[in-house]
Amino acid sequence: NLYVASWCHSTFIDLHYLDSMLENGANINATDRYGQGVLHGVIAHVWHPDVARYFIERQADVTIADNYGVTPLHVAAAVDYPEMVAFLLDIGGKNNILITTGMMQTPLHYAAKYDAIDSLKCLLKHKADMKARDYKQRTPLQLAAELDRSEAARLLVGFQADAGVYDNTGQLCLTLMVANMPPVANVALDQFFIKDRANRKQYFKLNVLVPQPSGQKKTPLSMIYRQLDLIMHPVVQKLIEIKWKHFGMRGVTIHLTLNILFIISWTILGIASTLTGINQQRYKLPEDWWKILVALVAVGLTLYQITDEFIEIHASKRKFSQWKEWRNQEIMKDLNLCHPRWPEEKTYLKKELSALDDMHPNYLRDFWNLFDWLCYLLIFTVIVTHVADLLMENPNLHTSHVRLFAVAIIFIWLRLMKHVRAIRSLGPFIVMLGKISVDILKFLFLYGEFFVPYACAFWIIFGGLVPNMTTVPQMLFTIFRITLVDDYGFDDMYGQDSVMAYFLCGTFLGLSSILCINLLIALLSDTFQRVYDNATANAAMQQASIVMQIEEHLNQKDKNKFCDFIHESCAPLGIFFDDDMTTDQEADLKKVTIQIKLSSLVLYYLWSCYIKFVHVQETESTPNDNRMTQKSAILAGRQEQLYVRTVSVVHTIAAL
């Protein structure tokens, strides 16, 4: 055994010495502490198949498994050694491909989880079973998806491996693919969308995307709705449409109605707070009964929505903790069965555990949830200041209350976008506002780089000396008006210091109004173009987000009812489709536009060549017939070269 261990790390083999050892009674099937024999070592170090043949001819057991159930074929599949895989399959026959490990995994599982593409191709060529299950009822495709082996998963999907299978915990293979390898998942989704062109029917296997209700596993849509490429797949679009019709539209209508009533009630109270003078009595009964009624409605709706937020927080934490505990248990099961000879899988699983510890519930990651609490905080402050104003009747407190109310009304109205974004015609514009806010922050940093030093310079020269700069806030606003090319009192500054007035106003006007403002316009235009180019996908993404939130709030009875509908009526869902359109209309429009531009370019180029040819012919004409004939030949040659060059350019652009 020591000798075998030594030659496994060498560059040559002393076959005569091995023969002498075997003749002296050495056990060719002896194993090491892991239970691995000589064939395991030969294959792990990628020796030539003839070396394996040498040992097999001397009665080495090709099907021997180590303490973890790993056979030589598993090792060959894992190290991506297709020649050895083919050799062992030819030696061992078809039964060899069915040998499983301690994890109940076939060689195809091993090739998939180690991303051994060539071994996968070889095994599939020898009719390996893609439906084989391991100890957790995972197929090779699901194992590759769970371990983020994209190339192996892509190959298996290309061989039509089923992406709609579940393991023993109910985890869907497609969900893992969406989470770890979206491009491959996009290809796998085609398995659930079938077109019957002969009968003008298309079928959507939506039942695969809607598993039975569970508090642990995540659904594919919960992973898809944040990815623009996947959200536009016909199967996903049809699922969103079905959910929108069954409970999404009703839920959005209810939320919008309550939110509009919430906004109107607080707006009425805000306007009513300005109708009463500072020294007047706040409520005169019975004349002001409507104020009390509106206030009760506004406060009641606020308490209802805050209660709903707390319920959502609790449900989010509970669901996340259940999923985290379940995921931790599943990783530990695989971790305890990892082979010590190959630590790569154990290292990956440990990283998964570390990443799992760093995960937190998604509630606070949603901007709109944070915006909700900002609105509730402002409303709470408004209520507190109003109560204090009623008890103390302080003019300054009343003024502060009215100012705070005015600010709160703005945020309360902006909150309406949270529910309006589910409407597909408005969703992209709300997304655009979010993207634009990031661009504005970038612009403010650049603008501040110029604004702060110039503010100091203006204060040093003109602070307290001109009417528009008697105080620091007044001076800051005046400088901001320079950016807007507004009336900023240049004459007063000129009268105080003409040189510095020209210098400061001129340079700041150029930097802020010309440079910064145009840069902001460019940033906003770029953001608008990027978002609007994906307008349909962004609208679908926003609608899917709202639909999922509404689905979370459904009671168990409604969830089961919808799930039963999907599994009974949408397995698959067959609908009529028109097969007349074979290409994308937008692609055709772009193609026509390119052809028009190309035709214009060619005509312009040919016309320029013709004018140039005529001009040269006229300027170089001479009475000498011989010279005329010679130059005509030269010009004709030039014309032919220009024509050939033009045709070449046209063909090149047309090919592109």
Residue 588, pLDDT above cutoff 70: no
SS3 514: helix
Between CA 185 and CA 154 the distance in angstroms is 9
Kindly report, residue by residue over 32-90, the tens digit of the pLDDT. Answer: 777 778 888 777 777 888 888 878 877 777 878 888 888 888 888 988 889 989 888 88
Distances in whole angstroms, Cα of residue 405 to Cα of each of 66, 383, 399: 75, 9, 10
Query: Which residue did the predictor score with more confidence, 518 or 594?
Result: 518
pLDDT class of 279 with cuts at 50, 70, 90: low
What counts of helices (H) and strands (E) characterise the chain?
Answer: 30, 3
Average of pLDDT values for 541-564?
Answer: 86
Tokens of 17: 């010495």
Contacts of residue 372, defined as CB under 8 A and 6 or more positions apart, other chains included, come to 305, 309, 415, 418
pLDDT at 101: 65
Residue 596, pLDDT above cutoff 50: no
Q: What is the DSSP letter of 211?
A: P
Distances in whole angstroms, Cα of residue 355 to Cα of each of 328, 347, 360, 600: 11, 12, 10, 57
Residue 651 CA neighbour count, 13 Å, CB half: 6
When mean pLDDT is compared over 305-319, 384-398, 594-608, the highest value belongs to: 305-319
Residue 581, pLDDT above cutoff 70: no
Residue 606, pLDDT above cutoff 80: no
Phi, psi (degrees; rounded to nearest 5) at 31: -125, 165
Tokens of 222: 């919960």
pLDDT class of 159 with cuts at 50, 70, 90: very high
* Assigned fold of 422-571: Helix Hairpins (1.10.287)
Query: Which residue did the predictor score with more confidence, 519 or 218?
Result: 519
Spatial CA neighbour of 329 closest among 169, 170, 118, 443: 169
Average of pLDDT values for 215-238?
Answer: 81
Q: Would you kindly state where each structural domain of the chain is located, as residue ranges?
A: 2-129, 239-421, 422-571, 582-622, 624-655
* Assigned fold of 2-129: 1.25.40
Tokens of 537: 């996908």
Kindly report, residue by residue over 236-271, the tens digit of the pLDDT. Answer: 989 999 999 999 899 999 999 999 999 999 999 888
On average, the pLDDT of the chain sits at 80
Question: Which has the minimum average pLDDT: 462-466, 526-530, 594-598?
Answer: 594-598
Q: What pairs with residue 193 in β-bridges?
A: 204
pLDDT at 641: 55
pLDDT at 93: 54
Contacts of residue 250, defined as CB under 8 A and 6 or more positions apart, other chains included, come to none
- Starting at the edge strand that comes first in sequence, how are the strands of the sheet with 573-576 ordered? 193-196, 201-204, 573-576
pLDDT at 345: 81
User: Is residue 482 within 8 Å of 512, Cβ to Cβ?
Assistant: yes
Average of pLDDT values for 417-435?
Answer: 82
pLDDT class of 6 with cuts at 50, 70, 90: very low
Q: Give the helix ranges, DSSP H, for 69-217.
A: 72-78, 82-92, 107-113, 117-125, 140-146, 150-158, 173-180, 182-188
Average of pLDDT values for 328-336?
Answer: 86
Specify the long-range contacts of residues 281-290, CB closer than 8 Å, at least 24 apart.
282/389, 282/390
Distances in whole angstroms, Cα of residue 599 to Cα of each of 31, 604, 612, 644, 653: 76, 8, 20, 16, 11
Residue 216, pLDDT above cutoff 70: no
Residue 479, pLDDT above cutoff 60: yes
Average of pLDDT values for 639-649?
Answer: 51
pLDDT class of 214 with cuts at 50, 70, 90: low
pLDDT class of 576 with cuts at 50, 70, 90: confident
Average of pLDDT values for 164-170?
Answer: 88
Kindly report, residue by residue over 281-329, the tens digit of the pLDDT. Answer: 566 777 778 888 999 999 999 999 999 999 888 888 888 888 888 888 8
pLDDT at 635: 46
Between CA 500 and CA 472 the distance in angstroms is 19
SS3 195: strand
Cβ atoms within 10 Å of 527's Cβ, excluding its own? 20
Query: Per-residue b/e over 600-627, b at no fewer than 16 CB within 10 Å?
Result: eeeeeeeeebeeeeeeeeeeeeeeeeee
Kindly report, residue by residue over 116-152, the tens digit of the pLDDT. Answer: 999 999 999 988 889 999 888 999 999 999 998 999 9
pLDDT class of 616 with cuts at 50, 70, 90: very low
Specify the long-range contacts of residues 366-369, CB closer than 8 Å, at least 24 apart.
367/434, 368/418, 369/309, 369/312
Residue 192, pLDDT above cutoff 80: yes
Average of pLDDT values for 605-624?
Answer: 48
What does pTM read for this prediction? Answer: 0.72
pLDDT at 583: 44
pLDDT at 189: 92
